[in-house]
Amino acid sequence: MRHAGPTLTAVLLLVVSTACSSAPPASPRDTRSLGDMTAEPLACDGLISARALRIVVGALPILTTTTGLPDKRLTKGRRYTSCAVKVADAREWALDVSLDDPFRGTPRELADTMAFDKGRPLRKELGPGYSATVPEGKEPAFAYVYGWTPGHERLLSIRIVLGAARDSEADAVELFRYLKPIMLTPRKSR
């Protein structure tokens, strides 16, 4: 009977130690589409499908709170201010959609925030704005989108606290794409 040579033994030890020391496989990322944003049941005062929001935050059930004042600009007859989505028993909100109307910041402040957060401009067809993922230490803490009207009169922001095994920044951009025509369309003169 032949003994394994030192080279073969070293190779086997390397393979075994590598297999034992490698990190466990990461959970698969959820790449499902958010689907029909108008599908029932609706959340956020009837603006967004609760099913789409559940995909974004990655858990059930969700609680939402919406603030607004009567207005005829939105289909549900409300002037939208914000909607916060919370996963039950969580300490903080998982998602927040806000409309600043009027926007009281400046174009310079938006540019500075984009530079600081290493934001990426939105695609041209989405209009002025950018998206970013903000880290907390070595891990991402939240993703967001800021989009505004060309004259900076209104700002739509979508913030997603990371939790679901998804690309939260891409989800924020998709929510913005859907909400922009509803929230940032030019007002008609009366």
Using CA atoms, how far residue 94 sits from 84, 86, 163, in Å, is 8, 5, 8
The full set of domain ranges for the chain reads 34-183
pLDDT in tens, 5-31: 555 444 444 444 444 444 445 556 777
Of 108, 112, 110, 96, which is closest to residue 179 (Cα–Cα)?
A: 96
Look at residue 71 in the predicted model and tell me its pLDDT.
45
d(CA 150, CA 160): 24
Q: Which two structure tokens, joined as six digits, stand for 93?
A: 């909100």
Strands 120-121 and 95-100: unpaired
User: Does pTM surpass 0.85?
Assistant: no
Has residue 66 got a pLDDT over 90? no
DSSP-assigned beta bridge partners for residue 48 = 43
Instruction: Classify 9 in phi/psi space as left (phi over 0), alpha (psi -120 to 50) or beta.
Output: alpha
In angstroms, the CA 61 to CA 58 distance is 10
Predicted confidence (pLDDT) at residue 42 exceeds the cutoff of 60: yes
The pLDDT score that the predictor gives to residue 185 is 80
- Quick: pLDDT tens for 81-125: 788 888 777 777 888 999 998 899 999 999 999 999 999 999 999
Mean pLDDT (the chain, rounded): 78
Identify the helix (H) or strand (E) that includes residue 129.
strand 129-136
Could you report the per-residue pLDDT of 128-139, keeping only the tens digit for each?
999 999 988 777
Residue 77 falls in which region: left (phi positive, over 0), alpha (psi -120 to 50) or beta = left
Q: What is the largest CA-CA distance in the chain?
A: 97
